[in-house]
Structure 1
Amino acid sequence: MRSQHEPQVFSAVIKNSIMQGDILCETSNNYLITKTSLMPDLSWDNLRIPEISIYGMTIIGFPHLRKETYDNWISINNQPSFLTPLMTNLQINLVSKEELKKLEKRTDYLWSTIYTLTRPGFSQDFSQALIQITGYCAAIPCSYGNLLYLEGTGEQWQVKSSYGLYNQ
C-alpha cells in the first residue's frame, strides 16, 4: 500500500516546494535533522505543539501528527533509498550524488537550487505523512530545511503545514 501513496506524496511536495528546472538528488536523504537553534529536540512531542512563540516568532507545530507517522518516518529513513522508481513528476531533474558534485562546479548551474528529500513516513491508515526537504544553492552559503506535514484523502495529498528546521 505504501508504494501507492509514496509517489503521490512526492508529487505534492514537489508542486509545493520545487520549481521546474531545479535539481533533486535521486537518493533519499537519510540524515534526519534532530537539532536546530530554535528547538533542540525534534521529538514527536515537540512537533505536536499547537503553537509556541520563540524570540518573537510564532512557530506552529503539527498538533494532529500521530506517533505512528513520526515513528514510520524515522524508521524508513535509517538508510538512503533510490527515489527514481518512486517519482512520477518529470518536471524535476533527478541526478546522482556524483552528478551533483560535478554540477556544483559548473557556472551554468551555479544559481540552481539543489534539493534532497527523505522518504515520507505514513500513518497506518495513510491519511497523513511526514517528510523532510532540504535545499541549497552552490553560489551562496544559503540553505534551508523543512519538515512538511501532509494530509491525504483518496488519491490527493496536500501540504498542510511546514516546520522550519533551519534557514541560513
Structure 2
Amino acid sequence: MRSQHEPQVFSAVIKHSQMEGEFLHEMSNTYLINKTSLKDITWENLCIPEMLIYGMRIIGFPSLQKETYENWISINNQTYLLTPFITNPQVTLISEEEFDKLGDKSGYRWSIFYTLSRPGFSQDLSQALIQITAHCPAGPPQYGSLLYLESTGEQWEVKSSYGLYNQ
C-alpha cells in the first residue's frame, strides 16, 4: 500500500518546492536521523499549535499523528534508492559522484541540488512527513525543512513546513 503513495508524495513535494530543472540526489537523505540527536525534532515539538514568539509566527504540525513521525524515523534509518519512486520528469536524478562533481563545476555554481528523505505515513495513509534539503554551491539558498502533507483523495498536498535550518 505504501508503494503506491510514495510517488504521489514525491511528486507533490517536487511541485511545491519548485524543483523543476534542478538536480535531485538519487539516494534518500538520512542525515537528520543518523547524524543528529533529534532532541529538538521530537514529535512533541513538531505538534505545537500556531504561536507568536517575539513577533515571529511559528506554525507547527498540530495534526501530526505520532505514528506518522515514528514511521518517518524508522523508514529513514538507512538510505534507499529513490529512482523507483520519482516519476516526475522535471527533475534530474543524479548519483553521489555526479552530485559532488557537478557542485565543483563553474557552470553549475548557481544550480540547486536537492535531497529528500523517504516519507513517513500514518497508518490510514492520510498524512505524510518528509525532509527536504537544498544546496547551491555558490551560496544561498541552503535550507532544510520538514514538510507535512495530507491526502485529499487521490492527491497529496503540502499543508505546512517546519524549518530545520536556513543559511
TM-score category by the smaller chain? over 0.9
Structure 2 counterpart SS, 1:86:
coil
Structure 2 counterpart SS, 1:136:
strand
- CA–CA separation in structure 1 for the residues paired with 2:67 and 2:5: 16
Indicate yes or no: 2:90 matched with 1:91.
yes
1:2-151 matches, within 5 Å, as 2-32=2-32, 41-140=40-139, 142-151=141-150
- CA–CA separation in structure 2 for the residues paired with 1:60 and 1:35: 22
Q: Deviations over 1:97-126 (max 9, x none)?
A: 110111011111110000000000000000
- CA–CA separation in structure 2 for the residues paired with 1:89 and 1:19: 10
- CA–CA separation in structure 2 for the residues paired with 1:99 and 1:41: 32
- CA–CA separation in structure 1 for the residues paired with 2:37 and 2:130: 16
- CA–CA separation in structure 2 for the residues paired with 1:153 and 1:58: 26
Change beyond 3 A, Cα 1:53–1:35:
farther
Cα contact 2:49–2:59 (8 A) shared by 1:
yes
Mean alpha-carbon deviation: is it higher for 150-159 or for 64-73? 150-159
Mean alpha-carbon deviation: is it higher for 153-162 or for 87-96? 153-162
Flag as ranges the 4+ runs of structure 1 deviating above 6 A: none
Residue identity matched to 2:107 = D
- CA–CA separation in structure 1 for the residues paired with 2:161 and 2:121: 16
- CA–CA separation in structure 1 for the residues paired with 2:5 and 2:110: 32
Gaps of 5+ in 1: none
Query: Percent of aligned positions with the same letter in both sequences?
Result: 68
Change beyond 3 A, Cα 1:142–1:153:
closer
Residue identity matched to 1:153 = T
Gaps of 5+ in 2: none
Deviation at 1:19, TM superposition (A): 2.8
Residue identity matched to 1:134 = T
User: TM-score normalised to the size of structure 1?
Assistant: 0.93
Deviation at 1:10, TM superposition (A): 0.1
Deviation at 1:144, TM superposition (A): 0.3
Structure 2 counterpart SS, 1:18:
coil
